[in-house]
Structure 1
Amino acid sequence: MAPKGKSHSRRPVSKRAPSWCRYSPEEAEAFVIQLAKEDYPPSQIGILLRDQYGIPLIKYLTGKSITEIMESAGVSLELPEDLQNLLQKAKRLQRHMARNKKDNVNKHSLELVTSKVRRLASYYRDRSVLPKDWKYTS
């Protein structure tokens, strides 16, 4: 169903860094590397840069995404963040199912999350982000 109303968050039309941004691309990359070394995932790094440093979109400022900056500095994640989050969610649901064996609603939720993990893993295997022999075992 389509959303009603227009008040949604939208990205700016311009693909350039805003003139009011006080940081240079090198400083912004240094912030990303520093936060990555403190074990922040890319999504959290983007939020921190926006809220604490006033950097709206790192890609417009540096020309590279947060994950590209992390990879070039050698501090990238071993698994992509979205896959990692789904695996954590599946573990949480499995722990819940171990305690509540008759909870069929969450049993179905676990099946849905497992399916998402398998589809996403297949996508990343095809693009050589994950090794070809990587397999999800629940």
Structure 2
Amino acid sequence: MARMHTRRRGSSDSDKPVADEPPEWSDVDADAVEERVVELAEQGLSPSEIGLKLRDEGVQGTPVPDVSLATDKKITEILEENDAEPDLPEDLRNLMERAVRLREHMNDNPNDHQNKRALQNTESKIRRLVDYYRGDELDADFTYSYDTAKELL
């Protein structure tokens, strides 16, 4: 499938291999993994950063290749159970950070038309995501603007 705002095609055959149980070399207790996930979330890491940290550093020196195989829960589910979930969904937060950076760049460089278009595309993605999350993870009257994004970040 093609990308929305570029002429490039998407990547094919990029799925992870199917696995039903964690590898035998990673014998980490599920409770220890959950404690580590909550600890990393309290340090301010996003769910994807937590997954990378567990993959690289692990728990008690043993890497955790896949949290959902080790605990039968996703990282976001673990965070919800322990009331440690972030205030904004991660994809929306990343897009807002990009939009704030692009807006500040546009204030310094008003004739940069390529980045002006990139800002328009990013803000349209944000508006679509806000519509998707409105009511569940965002307030029902939440609307995106540069000022609200700057305030939330």
When normalised by structure 1's length, the TM-score is 0.90
List runs of 5+ in structure 2 lacking aligned partners.
1-8, 147-153
Percent identical pairs in the alignment equals: 38
Deviating runs (4+, > 4 A) in structure 1?
none
Report the counterpart of residue 37 of structure 2 in structure 1: 32
- 2:93 counterpart of 1:84: yes
Aligned to 1:90, what secondary structure does the other structure show?
A: helix
- Of the three residues 36, 45, 48, the one matched with 2:50 is 45
Could you give the per-residue CA deviations for residues 33-73 of structure 1, whole angstroms, max 9, x where no partner exists? Answer: 11011111100000010111110110111111111111111
Whether 1:134 and 2:134 are equivalent positions in the alignment is: no
Shift of 1:11: 2.1
Please report how far the alpha carbon of residue 22 of structure 1 lies from its aligned counterpart in structure 2 after TM superposition.
Answer: 2.6
CA distance in 2, matches of 1:113, 1:2: 18
Q: Which amino acid letter does the alignment assign opposite residue 45 of structure 2?
A: Y
Change (3 A) 1:124 1:3: closer
Q: How many residues align?
A: 134
| Alignment correspondent of 2:106 | 97
Give unpaired runs (5+ residues) of structure 1.
Answer: none
* Of 20, 40, 65, the match for 2:74: 65
Task: Report which of the two has the higher share of helix.
Answer: 1
Alignment correspondent of 1:124: 133
